[in-house]
Amino acid sequence: RKLGFAMGIFNMGTAVGAGLALIIGGSVISFVTGSESGTTVLFGIEFLSGWQWVFILVGLPGLLIAVLISLIKEPSRIISNSINADGENPVSIGEVKRFFLQHIDFHFPHHAAASFTNLALVGINSWVSVYFIRIHDWSLGEAGFNIGISLIIGGLIGLVGGGFLSDRASVKFKGGKAIFCLICALIAVPFSLLFALIEDAFSALIFFGLAYGFMVAPIPSAAAILQEVTPNRMRGTLSAFYLLIISIVGLALGATIVALINDNFFDGYSGIRESLLIAIPAFNLIAAGFYFKLIAPYRTRCANEPTSHA
């Protein structure tokens, strides 16, 4: 009953990490490039440029995280009665493939919807700093700090709040999580339009945070939906395939499509506004269409698996 909320807590590290990376990165660049050369001089030797320091200082905490991760114990597996694969042995890849294809009416709209949500997220996150620098004349430091704060606030509210609300929706409505994802994708459209259209920089930042919050809100719900309808022994493999698909689509095409629109149809410098104005709302609308297609097959599986919320 609280799977969406748990997924939101798990995923909030992405938003917090992205926000902190921009805040720290922007501050480091502003500090290091305060000199004329923008290069650190150590013992009379030019040592590192500002952008190199960003990678080093942002990456260093990862070493501490790696140590902490090694201290985490494997939790006990919780197995639901109705969706557990028989036996204790892992199922074969062939069995997983057959299950996936047998339920393609569910998996295709689910994976496609999440992929287009990821397209919108990667597309806007990749170019939002450039947008504020080019259109609103912000410095790198200003863009990093302000956008970082917006990512953290919008991400925390969207992921944690979205996970909580999707759990509530699933209690009140059959297939409630998919309905919640559909609503969030639709609400993200006007906010992403206002973000790109409005002339005031602070207002644009507010609308960016709102758009981002509604775009990330379906992420924990989509992950929870997949867990609910997947047999226990297949969850790892099918979750990995799901993450592979949405990562390939989002990371490979999100920033690229915005760039292609910018370079081929608009002025290369200021055309970033029009490119975001077209791409991000379109991605969200297409995602909404697939979330709508997901509702019926998800409802069917909710009816068939009454204890799948374990």
Question: In what helix (H) or strand (E) does residue 182 lie, and over which residues does it extend?
Answer: helix 176-197
pLDDT at 61 over 60: yes
Domain range summary for the chain, segments of one domain joined by +: 3-72+95-304
* The predicted structure's pLDDT at residue 1: 63
Q: Is the pTM of this model over 0.75?
A: yes
Model confidence band, residue 31 (pLDDT cutoffs 50, 70, 90): low
* The predicted structure's pLDDT at residue 209: 95
| Across 36-46, average pLDDT | 50
CATH architecture of 3-72+95-304: Up-down Bundle (1.20)
| Across 277-286, average pLDDT | 96
| Across 97-117, average pLDDT | 95
Residue predicted with more confidence, 6 or 295: 295
For 274, the 3-state DSSP assignment is helix
pLDDT at 309 over 60: no
| Across 143-163, average pLDDT | 90
Question: In what helix (H) or strand (E) does residue 40 lie, and over which residues does it extend?
Answer: strand 39-42
Residues 6+ apart with CB under 8 A from 256: none
Residue predicted with more confidence, 4 or 122: 122
CB of 7 within 8 A of CB of 220? yes
The average confidence (pLDDT) of the chain is 84
